[in-house]
Structure 1
């Protein structure tokens, strides 16, 4: 089943390259049009109503993130395409929206298109995009930010204040929640550390990340560890001790 798409990027060679890759490696994608800036992109999305939008994040004037906030509807799948792994990417990762880094890897392109097509065919609401928009609109109110956590069965959207701690399990990660739930998330912990550091989370050990709002006390016994409000104990490595105590104000 074909999926219709529009491509938005401020550099014409990038648009031509993406169109060529899609034609060669993703033949089920029907390109409805291309745009070189946010204004053209907005008009294209509104008039052509694509199933899928490929959107550059950083563009002169209004960015791709600005464009999304200007749209009256968001009933499409979204794949960001960007040359930068820092500009706007923290919010995109936080919301688990798909993105591709330039130069585009063909395998990653095919996988992103496959997932977008699957979500479109199953008529899934684009919860990731809605969460990203919510995040952008509520930037100053961090307690209202929800992070997208992908498990083997679903994507959960959780307020950061609900997360007590994270524990590494090789290429996976356990998230412990304030309601007693324990989620196995299909990404390694190091992917979440930079996303959560601005929300009061402390890396206290190679395998542990803790939300400091749930820390009850610093216990000096057995080399030192953190006692949490739910009674759990979390080790503190020798190399992290000074930074942890400073962050906690001990």
Structure 2
């Protein structure tokens, strides 16, 4: 899925673009719609989208001023405009995509496919950059690539509170309160993270020792984490967990 924001000051343009996207580009997931540059900036900072459909002429700041306000721009941009010949020439010179209103479905599909290729290439470049950073700084904690359905996040082990198995996927819970569904097994995460203080407490749970607050004695032992989560400790893993806590 391509996580997308629609930015246009007219409601009927939002409705029409949403309709055509639903019919021709099912890989596009609309996160939100903004009607001004100010509203667009707030949505952009909240959702960190992959793609922007951006009107040029808007009250309270045009599309170019909006882009200046969110530097560095980490999303692909498809401009959507009704006239502005000078702006179109500038966009062409920069080899960026634009669509004229009313939007042509065929042209829209081509622009989205081109944006998707750029997004996927950017993810690959970020993964290579993470590799080089890890090799360049061997004394520091490495950044781990966490590929989910629509993005790749890069985090240090200390930012991970715990991991929970979901068959061949794993839910990763982060220090900032966010949760990611990652296409790796819990066994893979155990291999990656054990040397960074993570304990396998159960067949479905891997916990960062840094975030353990208490060991609760009940019918079955439970770890209380700093975020209030309770994680079970299986009989099979109890000895290893106790040794790790010591």
TM-score (norm 2): 0.50
Deviation at 1:192, TM superposition (A): 1.3
The residue number in structure 2 matching 1:197 is 194
The residue number in structure 2 matching 1:243 is 240
The residue number in structure 2 matching 1:159 is 156
Deviation at 1:171, TM superposition (A): 1.0
Gaps of 5+ in 1: 1-117
Deviation at 1:223, TM superposition (A): 1.4
Q: How does 1:18-97 map to 2 (within 5 A)?
A: none
The residue number in structure 2 matching 1:138 is 137
* Closer/same/farther in 2, CA of residues 132 and 221 from structure 1, 3 Å limit: same
**Consecutive aligned runs of 4 or more in structure 1 exceeding 4 Å deviation:** 118-123
The residue number in structure 2 matching 1:128 is 127
* Closer/same/farther in 2, CA of residues 123 and 211 from structure 1, 3 Å limit: closer
Deviation at 1:123, TM superposition (A): 5.0
Between structure 1 and structure 2, the one with the greater Rg is 2
The residue number in structure 2 matching 1:222 is 219
**Number of residue pairs aligned between Structure 1 and Structure 2:** 130
Q: Distance in 2 between matches of 1:231 and 1:170?
A: 24
Q: Distance in 2 between matches of 1:236 and 1:215?
A: 12
Deviation at 1:222, TM superposition (A): 2.3
Deviation at 1:212, TM superposition (A): 0.3
Q: Distance in 2 between matches of 1:161 and 1:152?
A: 23
The residue number in structure 1 matching 2:75 is none
Q: Distance in 2 between matches of 1:149 and 1:179?
A: 15
Q: Distance in 1 between matches of 2:245 and 2:120?
A: 46
TM-score (norm 1): 0.49
Moved more, 237-246 or 182-191: 182-191
Local SS of the residue matching 1:190: helix
Deviation at 1:242, TM superposition (A): 0.6
